[in-house]
Structure 1
Amino acid sequence: MSKIQKNRLKRIPKSAHKPNQTTLKVIKKELERVDKQLDKLVNSVAEWRQKRDLLLSAKRVGNVQAYTLMSELPELSKLNRKDIAALVGIAPMNRDSGSFQGKRYIRGGRHRVRTVLFVSMMSAIQCHPKLKPMYERLVTAGKPKKVALIACMRKQLTILNTMVKNNTYWDKKTA
């Protein structure tokens, strides 16, 4: 919503800027209040605090992604890599019948988690030490860019799932 207000400021006359700037300030204060409440809630439970710290130790994972994974994906660390990818909806499903071999596609799953992973991956493929080379390798091999992006999302989810499962922090040598 703040993005909408910022874009609106570019199009409206200067005389109408003040109400929109007031709205932006209200939105910013509300976001800060919600962030403080989330931090307070997570800090009150040791298990949640540990899980958040593990997730935030990974490269290119921020508060939004960590909190979304914690709230929308409580199965994180309890499932293997194939099951967690299928649960989120980023595992390729086949559409085969007899001798017919259809395309692989993703569908279903946890929409909010998939959306947050997608948005964060748009940034991660620019500079993540593990995911950028993987993305570039897949694209140069002829994969469509979105397919390569989804593969990187699955790789990141697998890394995060393993980190939380093994209770280990991000280590660039082993990740």
Structure 2
Amino acid sequence: MGEKENISAQMITKAKILSEFELLASIPDIGEISAALFIGEIGDLPRFSEHKKVNAFIGIDIRRYHSGKYAGHDHINKRGNPKGRKVLYFIVRNMIRQQKAAPNHIVDCTITSFKKQPHPKKDKVAIIACMNKQLKCIYSMVRNNAKYDYSHKVSMDH
């Protein structure tokens, strides 16, 4: 076994002790390594009082610029944890790639709604929206100690 596999195995072993690991692993397309990396970067998720604070910690909260009559384009803040943001990005990209094999309401509703609007949004905008919904879902699952259930679609706004 190589060094990378050894480190991955150690991370998974340590993460399996935590209750969040089993909850994360219940989400389609989140494997053991992704769950361990997410837990390692986010830490104790219940320490956040609401999902918006998790978004800010990761750095995908929206930054808006307004001055007088000028309203600039919305951008993500990117001030948070860049490694956590990268892990979440790869989780969502994997979900999008595998959406036919493993249905996931986060990808189903977000990608579909962003692509069917009168002016379809760019892929990055849809991915950030999926990342936002994924964080909301994970936050809710951890706070309520509930595994992922496709039939129970969590109400989430754009």
Question: Fold conserved (TM > 0.5)?
Answer: yes
1:58 aligns with 2:33: no
Q: 2:65 aligns with which of 95, 100, 111?
A: 95
Q: How does 1:19-30 map to 2 (within 5 A)?
A: 29-30=2-3
Structure 2 match to 1:82: 52
Query: Could you list the per-position Cα deviations for residues 20-52 of structure 1 after superposition, in whole angstroms to 9, with x for gaps in the alignment?
Result: xxxxxxxx5223322332233334x4xx1x111
Q: Displacement of 1:75 after TM fit?
A: 4.4
1:34 aligns with 2:4: no
The one-letter amino acid of 2:133's match is K
The one-letter amino acid of 2:57's match is L
Mapped contact 2:38–2:88 kept (Cα < 8 A): no
Structure 1 match to 2:86: 115
Given the two structures, how large is their TM-score scaled by the length of structure 2?
A: 0.81
Identity percentage of aligned residues: 27
Query: Could you list the per-position Cα deviations for residues 58-79 of structure 1 after superposition, in whole angstroms to 9, with x for gaps in the alignment?
Result: 1121223211221111242332
* Comparing 154-163 and 131-140, the one that deviates more: 131-140
Cα distance in structure 2, aligned partners of 1:154 and 1:163: 14
Query: What's the secondary structure of 1:77's corresponding residue?
Result: helix
Which runs of 5 or more residues in structure 1 are unaligned? Answer: 1-27
Mapped contact 2:12–2:32 kept (Cα < 8 A): no
Tell me which structure has the larger Cα radius of gyration.
1
Q: Displacement of 1:112 after TM fit?
A: 0.7
User: For residues 153 and 42 of structure 1, do their structure 2 counterparts lie closer, same or farther at Cα, with a shift above 3 Å needed?
Assistant: closer
Structure 2 match to 1:164: 142
Tell me the matched-pair count. 144
